[in-house]
Homo-oligomer: A and B are copies of this chain.
Amino acid sequence: MSTFGSLFRVTTYGESHCASVGAIIDGCPPGLELSPQDIQVQLSRRRPGQSNLTTPRDEKDLVHVQSGIEQGVTLGTPIGLLVKNEDQRPKDYSETDLYPRPSHADYTYLEKFGVKASSGGGRSSARETIGRVAAGAIAEKYLKQVFGIEIVAFVSSVGKIHLPSNIAPPSLAEVDGDEDNDDVADALTPEFRQLLATITREEVDKHPTRCPHLATAERMTKRIIRAKESMDSIGGTVTCVIRNVPSGLGEPVFDKFEAKLAQAMMSIPATKAFEVGSGFRGTEVPGSKHNDAFIVKDGKLGTSTNWSGGIQGGITNGEDIYFRIGFKSPATISQAQHTAQYNGTPGTLAARGRHDPCVVPRAVPIVETMAAIVVMDQLLIQNSRKTAAGLLPPITTLPPTMVMPSH
């Protein structure tokens, strides 16, 4: 339903044409300095109208905090917030409304609910994500301040245009390459790990595509413009890194860190694919090369490689967490489509509305904030366990393998 998280719990509401969209964030730690501007930053990165690559609607998306904060400090009580919809009127009846848009949610919403919002897909609207972004921005503030956790997402591909292979995520499968060749030199490059370790939001935002490699970004721009000009659309991928996450987060077995991360990401509109660490590419690498050997780093165990993507057995190990999400081409396009009406009559659906030809640039803050929500919730759960266990007296009679002190 519309609630995510157990201790840091986000509940959202709102469609495209209602009075507002918003969220209630329950479980934010009390005593956190938090201003509307802390939230606005990510909302503004998400909003349409930022460049000629996105939909021309310029909505301000100003956040209005309703509760849970006083004197600039969180009270620990639920934070209610909302963003007004500029266009609150339900749409007028139109000829095109006889048609469910192909690959959009119009048809499935009607199948599910029996009635539908004037916007068609109801909660599948991109505006629904505003509540999550606001919630995640709050989580980010806490995580950054207390643990120095940094979450940075960037566009890693648009259509067939990918980051150069030396800085690309590992997962680009070979089909029937030399099946006896176990060489993996091209997969998890030092340059890619360096990119993960150092990339900042400022760098990402330097180009409207939010691709951090400028030459590639320029090609992506052209690809998006081509989609726009042909009244078509194109998809892409977003890669995200989370740095400085403490080890020990993630709740076996169903709420493994990567499982909740996958749910969070696959709940973002238009997503079709998720992979963490070596991802699909990892399926092709033998264990002897894929295993991340332990070494000492900063006086603590770390790993020399990071095929695992910072997660082992569903639990974080302290290394950088990285993952990639695939966004399909947007369903709403302006060119004529041969399809059928709700009543089955075949016909042609012509243009309606103006929409993003490619969503990945705007998806970047959505990915980051959803990641922040997952980390925050898992952190609060592990906090609880660790505190509870820490209050117990040490047990001195156990075999050494049960309490092997970690370095």
Q: How far is the CA of A219 from the CA of B383 in the complex (A)?
A: 48
Q: Is the CB of A97 within 8 A of B401?
A: yes
Does A263 sit within 8 A of B, measured CB to CB? yes
Interface segment out of the listed A5-13, A45-53, A206-214: A5-13
Does A353 sit within 8 A of B, measured CB to CB? no
12 more CB-based (< 8 A) A-B contacts, given A33-B395, A112-B250, A232-B288: A2-B24, A2-B253, A3-B26, A14-B66, A14-B80, A18-B67, A71-B397, A93-B399, A159-B179, A230-B286, A285-B329, A342-B405
**Which residues of chain B come closer than 8 Å to A67, judged between CB atoms?**
13-15, 18-21
Closest chain B residue to A30, Cβ basis? B113
Q: How large is the interface on A (under 10, 10 to 19, 20 to 34, 35 or more residues)?
A: 35 or more
Closest chain B residue to A261, Cβ basis? B266
**Which residues of chain B come closer than 8 Å to A108, judged between CB atoms?**
247-248, 250, 311-317
Q: How far is the CB of A104 from chain B (nearest CB, A)?
A: 7
Q: How far is the CB of A215 from chain B (nearest CB, A)?
A: 12
Picked from B1, B272, B328, B341, the residue with its CB within 8 Å of the CB of A251 is B1
Q: How far is the CA of A385 from the CA of B263 in the complex (A)?
A: 23
Does A199 sit within 8 A of B, measured CB to CB? no
Closest chain B residue to A231, Cβ basis? B288
**Which residues of chain B come closer than 8 Å to A263, judged between CB atoms?**
254, 259-260, 262-263, 266
Closest chain B residue to A27, Cβ basis? B1
Q: How far is the CA of A344 from the CA of B200 in the complex (A)?
A: 32
Picked from B261, B267, B339, the residue with its CB within 8 Å of the CB of A253 is B267
Q: How far is the CA of A24 from the CA of B385 in the complex (A)?
A: 18
Does A223 sit within 8 A of B, measured CB to CB? yes
Q: How far is the CA of A262 from the CA of B107 in the complex (A)?
A: 23
**Which residues of chain B come closer than 8 Å to A65, judged between CB atoms?**
19
**Which residues of chain B come closer than 8 Å to A15, judged between CB atoms?**
67-68, 75, 77
Chain A contacts with B in 190-236, Cβ cutoff 8 A: 219, 223, 226-227, 230, 232-236
Picked from B78, B282, B392, the residue with its CB within 8 Å of the CB of A145 is B392
Q: Is the CB of B9 within 8 A of A3?
A: yes
Does A185 sit within 8 A of B, measured CB to CB? no
Q: Is the CB of B253 within 8 A of A128?
A: yes
Does A37 sit within 8 A of B, measured CB to CB? no
Q: How far is the CA of A76 from the CA of B301 in the complex (A)?
A: 22
**Which residues of chain B come closer than 8 Å to A232, judged between CB atoms?**
286-288
Q: How far is the CA of A253 from the CA of B124 in the complex (A)?
A: 7
**Which residues of chain B come closer than 8 Å to A181, judged between CB atoms?**
160
Chain A contacts with B in 41-91, Cβ cutoff 8 A: 64-71, 73-80, 82, 90
Shortest 9 CB-CB distances between A and B: which pairs?
A105-B313, A233-B287, A13-B80, A384-B384, A273-B275, A235-B283, A108-B315, A344-B407, A124-B313
Picked from B76, B93, B111, B329, the residue with its CB within 8 Å of the CB of A283 is B329
Does A116 sit within 8 A of B, measured CB to CB? yes
Q: Is the CB of A175 within 8 A of B175?
A: no
**Which residues of chain B come closer than 8 Å to A165, judged between CB atoms?**
175
Q: How far is the CB of A399 from chain B (nearest CB, A)?
A: 6
Does A381 sit within 8 A of B, measured CB to CB? yes
Closest chain B residue to A33, Cβ basis? B395
Closest chain B residue to A98, Cβ basis? B404
Q: Is the CB of A290 within 8 A of B329?
A: yes
Q: Is the CB of A402 within 8 A of B71?
A: yes
**Which residues of chain B come closer than 8 Å to A73, judged between CB atoms?**
115, 395, 398, 402
Q: Is the CB of B404 within 8 A of A234?
A: no
Q: Is the CB of B29 within 8 A of A392?
A: yes
Chain A contacts with B in 337-382, Cβ cutoff 8 A: 337-344, 346, 379-382
